[in-house]
Structure 1
Amino acid sequence: MVKHRRSETVTNQQSRIEVLVEGAGPPVALLPSYGRDGVVDFDDFAGQVAADGYTVIRPQPRGAAGSTGVMDDVSLTDLGADVASALRATAHGPAVLLGHAFGNIVARVVAAVWPESVRAVGLLAASGSCPPPDIRDTPTIAGDLTAPEAVRLDALRRGFFAPGHDPHAWLTGWYPDVLAMEVAAVPRGDLRKNSFWSAGTARLIEVIPEFDPFKPQDQWLELRDENGGRLTTRIVAGAGHALFPEEPVGLLDALLPVLRRLCHPGIAPGPTHTPPLSAGNGAGS
């Protein structure tokens, strides 16, 4: 699935960013979650999206994979600039940015500061306004390579994987320095008060994993209430916060029809088995 993938290096004032590119067609960029790269976690998904007729772009966070750069006193705007420079170099036209977990925050920044580079923003496993206190620290525990394996697995089970899913795959793939840099870049307090939160005026695609503890069901309506008609929301049944390794077919079913409508408005989007939010499951479409 990745045999036609190529790697490019994009340089800006602070960093040298490795960008993985595959496929041909409208650009779709994937931005990874806290402390992880955008390689193995996204490989299968990226290949499937590329095969559906898109150019899939994966800028690797500075400090991860083949990317390097300043790691101290880094702001979200700095991280957004890394992505924006990657898009300018590799995307032919505005891209759909799919940000997983922390990546959705970076995607919002790019859309707010560099709107000409963005067609729409995907908020994949985006946290609710008030995750449970015992869940908030699970990324730093899971990404602490010095912690006992049992402690890290417990954090992965609690914070990332739905009941019955094996979390062992995510014992690897963490970059502690990247995790620390990204955590420090996030402003303290209510992120909804920041100018980037609205992602400018971009169309928004929300994907909620059914069992994501970072967004309990009583917070599923928040983004709809904030954004109204700009927002399309889909649920991936059976998934937790990790999402990509858990329910890859459900994730593709949720996103591919939306991508087709956004990027190929004259073509029928095809079937999807992922239901929209509805009153019957505690939310609205």
Structure 2
Amino acid sequence: MTTDVPGRIKTVANGEARIAYAVCGSEEPSAVTLCLVASTGRGPEDFAHLAAHLAEAGLRVVLPWPRGTGGSTGALDGIDFHDLAADAGAALQAEAGPGGAVIVGHAYGCWIARTLAQDRPDLVDGIVLLAAGGGKWAPELSRAIEVAMDPEAPEADRLAALQLGFFAEGHDPRPWLSGWSGELVRAQRAARAATDRDSWWPSGRAPILDVVGLQDPFRPADGREFYLHEFAPRVELVAVDGASHALPDEKPAEVAAIMVPWIRALRAGTPD
């Protein structure tokens, strides 16, 4: 599944932080620009196949590395969602043209995407949520993250944790044994605790595409319409069968096939 990040590597400043990112796809000024924000403790490598599909569809795709990974630098202590959102926003703004800009989050990255939409409504024309968690989830899922990312844990335990929390039956979790940053996870969790919920929860005013795997334990059936209830009529919900929390890496072609027409309709001004 996961492979190297496609595209040209660039850097952009966000205050004292320097954010490294890859950019691939259309170089036409009129192309829609997407910025993909990765999940807890992970980087844009998880988007490699999805990014390739999106680029092939004529979109420009920006893939930033979180602070402390992949050449990105910046404080990891004393930060909040708004700092992390500004990192993504700097990369998105550096590449966006008149074709419009869409922020895309995966799992934890959905919170950062929504924060950017709240902070920069002038920049964000649309929000795509991939495997966004609902209002609550089982405690064992948070524990699964701890085990999955622990290089000292037995490999069998890590694979079982990945299968439980991230991958649907029939998908190999082994590539996700690597790619974790414990330091980043700690900073991201502290950032969540430090952020006033009211400062980001409204998520701006842009339309929202909510794509969820039917086998995602972080979004069980009784919470599937969570964002519809929170943000209707801004939200379009689409479910993907055979996918769990690692949705964009499990089903990249299917996710792209959902995103591309929505983005084209967004540009035409037709999404609700």
TM-score (norm 1): 0.87
Q: Describe how 1:164-183 pairs up with structure 2 within 5 A.
A: 164-183=170-189
Question: Match of 2:43?
Answer: 37
Identify if the C-alpha distance between structure 1 residues 186 and 3 changes in structure 2 by more than 3 Å, giving closer, same or farther: closer
Q: Deviations over 1:31-57 (max 9, x none)?
A: 100111102x11121111111111111
Instruction: Give the drift of 1:21.
Output: 0.8
**Which one of 112, 135, 157 corresponds to residue 141 of structure 2?**
135
Q: Please state how far the C-alpha of 1:2 moved relative to its aligned partner.
A: 8.8
The answer for the alignment partner of 1:279 in structure 2 is none
Which residue of structure 2 lines up, in the alignment, with residue 64 of structure 1?
Answer: 69
Residues 1:17 and 2:27 aligned together? no
Q: CA deviation at 1:10?
A: 0.5
Q: Which residue number in structure 2 is paired with residue 80 of structure 1?
A: 85
- Residue deviations 1:2-50, cap 9 Å, x none? 99821111012231100111122110111100111102x1112111111
SS in 1 for 2:125: strand
Native 8 Å contact 1:27 1:57 kept in 2:
yes
Structure 2 gap segments, 5+ residues each: none
Q: Residue 47 of structure 1 aligns to a residue in which SS?
A: helix
- Identity fraction in percent: 38
- Identify unmatched segments of 5+ residues in structure 1: 270-285
2:134 is paired with a residue whose SS is coil
Q: 1:246 to 1:76 in 2, by over 3 A?
A: same
How many Å separate the matches in 1 of 2:15 and 2:103?
A: 22
Q: Distance in 1 between matches of 2:113 and 2:161?
A: 26
2:161 alignment counterpart = 155
Number of the residue aligned with 1:107? 113
Tell me how far 1:244 sits from its aligned partner.
2.1
Query: Contact 2:50–2:249 at 8 Å: present in 1 too?
Result: no
Residue identity matched to 1:215: R
Stretch of structure 1 that moved more, 205-214 or 248-257:
248-257
SS where residue 69 of structure 1 aligns?
A: coil
Paired residue for 2:200, among 181, 196, 200?
Answer: 196
User: Does 2:97 match 1:95?
Assistant: no
Give, in whole Å, the separation in 2 of the partners of 1:214 and 1:108.
18
- Structure 1 residue runs of 4 or more that deviate by more than 3 Å after TM superposition: 1-4
Distance in 1 (alpha carbons) for counterparts of 2:105 and 2:53: 17
* Distance change in 2, residues 1:251/1:187 (3 Å): same
For residue 257 of structure 1, report the CA deviation from its aligned partner.
1.6
The yes-or-no answer on 1:117 pairing with 2:123 is yes
- What SS does the aligned partner of 2:229 have? helix
- State the number of aligned residues: 265
User: Contact (CA 8 Å) 1:120, 1:202: kept in 2 or not?
Assistant: yes
Structure 2 distance, partners of 1:80, 1:188, is 14
1:2–1:47 CA contact under 8 A, matched in 2: no
Displacement after TM superposition at 1:112 (Å): 0.5
Which residue is 1:283 aligned to? none
Letter in 2 for 1:81: A
Alpha-carbon contact 1:97-1:121 (below 8 Å) kept: yes
1:235–1:254 Cα contact (<8 Å) kept: no
Q: The residue matched to 2:236 in structure 1 has which SS?
A: strand
Q: Which amino acid aligns with 2:44?
A: G
In the alignment, which residue of structure 2 is the partner of 1:272? none
Shift of the 264–23 alpha-carbon distance from structure 1 to 2, 3 Å rule, reads farther
